[in-house]
Amino acid sequence: MGLLVYPPDNHKTDSKTIFFIGSADEFCTINDQPVTLSGSGNFAHVVNLKLGINDFTINLDGKIFQRKIHAEYSAHELPVAYARPYQAFRAPSTKPENILRSILVAKNSISVPLNLKPDFQCALESPYRAVLSLGEMKVDLGWIFYEDDFGIEINQLQEIASLEINFLNPVKELVVSWHANELRIEFSYISYVEAPPVKSSICSNPLIVIDPGHGGIQLGATSPKSVFEKDLNLQVSLKLRDELKHLGIRSQLTRQDDSLVTLDERVELSKPADVFLSLHHNALPDAQDPNQVRGFSVHYYHANSYNFCLEIAHYLKKHLDLPFAGFYKQNLKVLRDNSRSLAVLLELGYLIHPEESDLISSQEFQHKTAKLIANFLCEFINRE
């Protein structure tokens, strides 16, 4: 029997596209157009929207669903989703303004998407440090997306748009350019070295606080077969607790059942932690294609968690059977309010991806994931 889990009826969005997620045994059509099913019958199908009301008829194995999608004007000139700007319906009266929302970091470049050319200055103050000033603009920096772990860290220096860029390896040359609504900083290294493992900075008998994301009425993401993220987060967290107990490592959970725990309560429960791990499974906004994005990602906020974030990213890249979707400096409350502990949020795969959802929902994969995280923590704690 076919399932349609997203979008809900009368859904509102400012995106120019939307995806339909569900599963079918034999066939699926959307407005009489055939939809490709995965081997297990899942689908995530992207369609274009027109401004206003969009009517859809979805046929899943002969069962008919109706959906009305309202495409509205964006409240902002350049919306940002998951650190990547997306195309939205923009009202003619919208005034373009520069708001620093996201920074994208690659191996030899840093990109800052903006609406207008800023009054920028960028100085390489030493081979290991550069300062970028973007003049007067609004700052709402929710995301710094590191495409990979290249040994670059960006910190906001003050409320105005002034950023400090720190390099693990010495930079030989730095060039700044403006093109197609993107400020681009390109650089070349004098040399490139593999960073040594980070020495553990925590006590010999640490407490690991495990935070299963969502719970209760907060479902989180939903898979094409209607598996809720809140349940997967808890299942992996309970397995991780058991693995840590087997290794003799203390741990506690912010929730042990399908209960609603507020963000403030999660922060309070995490205060005794030496290491705080928030476990999640990923989704996407309407503007992106779930078929094109997959893998796990690692998120931190405070500088003291940066190296720990790199370490766990390296370890999981080597051992976890998922692509690496990068790591982020992200302004999330459970990370922002955990400045003392090593605090990391893990997105353990895309629950909305047609194929990846089946893999990460399996008990076998959850056991392997929990064991890998526990083994990493054990190695990190015991490192001299």
Strands 99-105 and 138-146: parallel
Model confidence at 199: pLDDT above 90 = no
Model confidence at 315: pLDDT above 90 = yes
Residues 154 and 299 both lie in one domain? no
Strands 275-282 and 207-212: parallel
Q: Which residues contact 243 (CB under 8 A, 6 or more apart)?
A: 370, 371, 373, 374, 375
Residues 239 and 181 both lie in one domain? no
Residues 221 and 285 both lie in one domain? yes
Residues 216 and 336 both lie in one domain? yes
Would residue 77 count as lying in a domain? no
Residues 219 and 332 both lie in one domain? yes
Residues 177 and 212 both lie in one domain? no
Residues 233 and 374 both lie in one domain? yes
Confidence at residue 137, expressed as pLDDT on a 0 to 100 scale: 87
What is the pTM for the complete model shown?
Answer: 0.93
Lowest mean pLDDT among 154-163, 203-212, 267-276: 154-163
Residues 61 and 180 both lie in one domain? no
Confidence at residue 194, expressed as pLDDT on a 0 to 100 scale: 66
Confidence at residue 371, expressed as pLDDT on a 0 to 100 scale: 97
% of residues, the chain, pLDDT over 70? 97
Domain CATH code at residue 148: 2.60.40
Model confidence at 185: pLDDT above 60 = yes
Domain total of the chain: 3
> What's CA 382's distance to the chain center, in Å?
29
161-175 tens-digit pLDDT: 899 999 988 999 999
Residues 235 and 151 both lie in one domain? no
Residues 54 and 137 both lie in one domain? no
Residues 259 and 174 both lie in one domain? no
Host domain of residue 17:
3-71
67-93 tens-digit pLDDT: 999 999 998 877 887 777 888 998 888
Of residues 326, 295, 305, 296, the one with CA closest to residue 106 = 326
341-362 tens-digit pLDDT: 999 999 999 999 999 999 999 9
Distances in whole angstroms, Cα of residue 39 to Cα of each of 26, 36, 358: 11, 10, 10
